[in-house]
A and B are shown apart, each in its own frame.
Chain A
Amino acid sequence: EAQVTQNPRYLITVTGKKLTVTCSQNMNHEYMSWYRQDPGLGLRQIYYSMNVEVTDKGDVPEGYKVSRKEKRNFPLILESPSPNQTSLYFCASSSAAMNTEAFFGQGTRLTVV
């Protein structure tokens, strides 16, 4: 089954404690990205990756890092989380073909206290 898997689904952490949210896709997609969803703001892109070792900032990259060492994995790293990073996070992947849709993971609900 084609899917994007995120872990964990829920996470409560304290300010400043480094954390990683993992994302893995089994569709051999080149393009992967991270979004955050906040009330009244919709989905905003954090970082994206065009392929292995190729990453770039999205619209709201501050406070986040990513890496793309393997095609299937695209972890999101919060080196020093702050309460304003409390949000719902989604990982997505899509192929390099034109006019194709992106597939989303189930989401990670992060609370930073």
Chain B
Amino acid sequence: DQQVKQNSPSLSVQEGRISILNCDYTNSMFDYFLWYKKYPAEGPTFLISISSIKDKNEDGRFTVFLNKSAKHLSLHIVPSQPGDSAVYFCAAKRGSNYKLTFGKGTLLTVNP
């Protein structure tokens, strides 16, 4: 049973426009959510996170929104840049449990 789902395997946007990556989860016990970015031949790197007590967290061009009632979160990148082209993974954890449960990832391509 996949507890964290990223239903779009890929997304293509134009440079300067907004990129919106989506993630759904089924386990209502998850209370902390993270986004990771991964370039080819590199390990995933942490991008931004949000606690379940918030509905929005912003860091520069990156904003994560959390809708707990819908069990849905999204990552907004504005404006998108070619260097943002990478695979983005959504991950979730619960309480003091250190385990991260990952989605399958979304390949974002930002075209110049």
Q: Are B43's CB and A99's CB within 8 A?
A: no
Residues of A with C-beta under 8 A to B45: 104
The answer to whether the Cβ of A105 comes within 8 Å of any Cβ in the partner chain is yes
Complex Cα gap A107–B98 (Å): 20
Complex Cα gap A6–B61 (Å): 31
Given known A-B contacts A40-B104, A42-B89, A99-B51, A106 and B42 have beta carbons under 8 A apart = yes
Overall SS of chain A's interface: strand
Q: Are A99's CB and B102's CB within 8 A?
A: no
Q: Mark A24-46, 1 if CB is under 8 A from B, else 0.
A: 00000001010100001111110
Q: Are B104's CB and A48's CB within 8 A?
A: no
Q: Are A43's CB and B89's CB within 8 A?
A: yes
Residues of A with C-beta under 8 A to B89: 42-43
Complex Cα gap A41–B89 (Å): 11
The answer to whether the Cβ of A50 comes within 8 Å of any Cβ in the partner chain is yes
Residues of A with C-beta under 8 A to B41: 106-107
Interface centre among A35, A58, A104, A105 (most CB of B within 10 A): A104
B83-112 interface (Cβ within 8 A of A) = 89, 96, 98-100, 102-105
The answer to whether the Cβ of B34 comes within 8 Å of any Cβ in the partner chain is yes
Top 8 A-B pairs, shortest CB-CB distance:
A104-B43, A42-B104, A101-B46, A43-B102, A31-B98, A104-B44, A106-B43, A42-B102
What are 6 residue pairs bridging A and B, where the CB atoms are less than 8 Å apart in the complex? Answer: A31-B98, A33-B98, A43-B44, A96-B98, A102-B98, A107-B41
